[in-house]
């Protein structure tokens, strides 16, 4: 039993979860269609995680809640994906093995789960909607850029000829680069906004 507990503690640490959580965007974030499917899968996982964190927080310990939420999100997205595929609504299983990994996204594990610790049920679902929108914005931009660089087309209109296209844009390492650039951009914007708020606050104190 001690080995099982040690394994669970290792799995729910940030680094292993972050690595798994980046896989969906790195591997499948290569087209607008995939971006829509990934956004839908993330939203399903986020709302499932919010429901579990709201109702099961008193049952499981704080250390186990991330693992419980991840498992619930993975099961929910696979189940909904199966239903959608059978009903021919969306073929979410084109995402393959990365489909359940959307529940391991860092936004869910270290963001949503912790954010929902002191939230009501309605607040937890609002957080799920906000986090889903943030994820979709990132995956949409990353996927659109990679698809454009690979195909040279925007909404079916060819802009780049074959000599200017980047065939490696759909490779996993390019996805890592894109995620790094996106993270740097978000950090830059956040820093700019923080400095502006601090400057406005200082001006208010001076007056």
Angle at 189 between CA 186 and CA 193, to 5 degrees: 135
Q: Which of 2-11, 59-68, 124-133, 142-151 has the lowest mean pLDDT?
A: 2-11
Sequential DSSP letters for 182-198? HHHHHHHHHHHHHHHHH
The fraction of the chain above a pLDDT of 70, given in percent, is: 83
Predicted pLDDT at 11 = 44
Predicted pLDDT at 109 = 67
Q: Is the pLDDT of residue 15 over 50?
A: no
Question: At 12, is the pLDDT very low, low, confident or very high (cuts 50, 70, 90)?
Answer: very low
Torsion of CA 111, 113, 118, 121, to 10 degrees: 120
Q: Tally the residues of the chain.
A: 207
Q: Is the pLDDT of residue 111 over 60?
A: yes
- Nearest one of 155, 178, 152 to 166, comparing CA atoms: 152
Supply the mean pLDDT for the chain: 76
Average pLDDT over residues 116-130: 80
pLDDT in tens, 43-91: 888 888 888 877 776 777 777 777 787 788 888 888 888 888 888 777 7
Numbers of helices and strands, H then E, in the chain: 8, 2
């Amino acid at each position: 039993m001690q080995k099982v507990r040690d394994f669970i503690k290792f799995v729910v640490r940030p680094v292993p979860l972050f690595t798994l959580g980046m896989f969906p965007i790195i591997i499948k974030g290569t087209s607008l269609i995939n971006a829509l499917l990934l956004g839908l899968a993330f939203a399903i996982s986020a709302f499932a995680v919010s429901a579990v964190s709201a109702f099961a927080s008193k049952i499981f310990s704080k250390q186990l809640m991330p693992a419980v939420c991840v498992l619930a999100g993975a099961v929910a997205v696979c189940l909904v994906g199966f239903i959608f595929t059978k009903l021919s609504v969306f073929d979410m299983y084109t995402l393959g093995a990365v489909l359940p990994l959307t529940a391991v996204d860092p936004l869910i594990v270290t963001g949503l789960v912790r954010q929902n610790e002191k939230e009501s049920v309605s607040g937890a679902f609002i957080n799920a909607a906000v986090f889903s929108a943030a994820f979709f914005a990132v995956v949409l931009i990353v996927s659109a850029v990679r698809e454009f660089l690979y195909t040279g087309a925007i909404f079916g209109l060819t802009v780049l000829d074959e000599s200017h296209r980047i065939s490696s844009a759909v490779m996993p390492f390019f996805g890592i680069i894109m995620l790094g650039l996106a993270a740097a951009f978000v950090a830059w914007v956040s820093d700019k906004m923080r400095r502006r708020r601090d400057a406005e606050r200082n001006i208010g104190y001076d007056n």
